[in-house]
Homo-oligomer: A and B are copies of this chain.
Amino acid sequence: MPNTIRHYSQVNDFTKKDFEEVLRRAKIFDVNGKDFTNVAPGKVLGLGFFQESTRTASGAESAIIRLGGGWNGIPSPAGSYVNIGEESMEDTLDSLSDSANILIVRHKSFDLTSYSKKATVPLINGMCGGDEHSAGAIGMGYTLKKKLGNIDNLKIGFYGMVKSSRPAKANIRLLAKYGATFYVDPVVSEFDTPEFIRKEAEAAGAKFVSAKLEDFIGEVDFLNVIEGLPQPGEDPKVLEQYNKKFKIMGKKDFARVRKDAAFYYCMPAMMTDGRTIVNIAEADADSRCLSHAMLREWTPVMMALITYLLDIKV
């Protein structure tokens, strides 16, 4: 039985056709003020957030409310048996599944894809495990397509710690399916795209170019500035080097981005030294900056993903 359930436990659970269908649905839901509460009345989205979340959780909660249902479960790491060491992730997710129609999960290391083989309800990866913010990647894909018209064969620039960024790694996996060419400046080489992600993306049709930000900032269709908060366990010396060399961009730098291109800074936008990865006010003032557009459109994208996995006609 569980084998017939659709999951989105990782980007590679979906083909390009799946993504196209989710993007089609998101467009339908991306209308302010329209009442969609008849789409999934009384349906329950279970939250399993074993790491902090502001944006992913709020948008997911908003999505199920707008669809006519509600959310339950564990919206933040404080106050769960997992947190106090009295229960395993598997047992907790098994139990959350018993009262929800679909789950969204965040955890620093849990392997959601392995778990999906025995899961009893559809799973959404809301940044779970070390390698992906899978749900976030669809949000990025939707907003990018809305802004640029299409997302095939794009030139994508990454500036920052790709290796440590689960959103960035998910974005690479998704856009690889659309034939992207990635220009990567990891600031320090230790934070470059992991070899296994690069090889996998190349096999899917992507190309990688190692370059300096200044060499591709004016070339790319989409510039992605990565959050400066590494995964636990990074070498403090490498991080110090990173913080020292990292260039906080503002208005003058964005002026070098092509007029018909877009850019994005990840959130939370903090670095470990307390600075923000861009001048946020100057970024937000630029109509090519998609950070908040992506968050605003994240709710309809989640509505699309939830209805798709629940097999609700839209």
Contact = CB atoms under 8 A, between A and B. Distances in A.
Interface of A: 35-37, 41-42, 44, 46, 52, 54-55, 57-59, 61-62, 65-81, 84, 86-87, 91-92, 94-96, 98-100, 229, 267-270, 276, 280, 284, 292, 295-296, 298-299
A35 B46 contact: no
Chain B CB within 10 Å, residue with most, of A59, A70, A280, A296: A70
Nearest to A38: B41
B52 A61 contact: no
Contacts of A79: 52, 75-78
A137 to B, nearest CB: 17
A296 B94 CA distance: 10
A292 B98 contact: yes
Contacts of A71: 61, 65, 70, 72
Given A42-B65, A42-B68, A44-B62, A268 B98 contact: no
A250 to B, nearest CB: 16
B54 A98 contact: no
B72 A44 contact: no
B95 A295 contact: yes
A75 to B, nearest CB: 8
Contacts of A94: 284, 292
Contacts of A284: 94
Contacts of A72: 57-58, 61-62, 65, 71
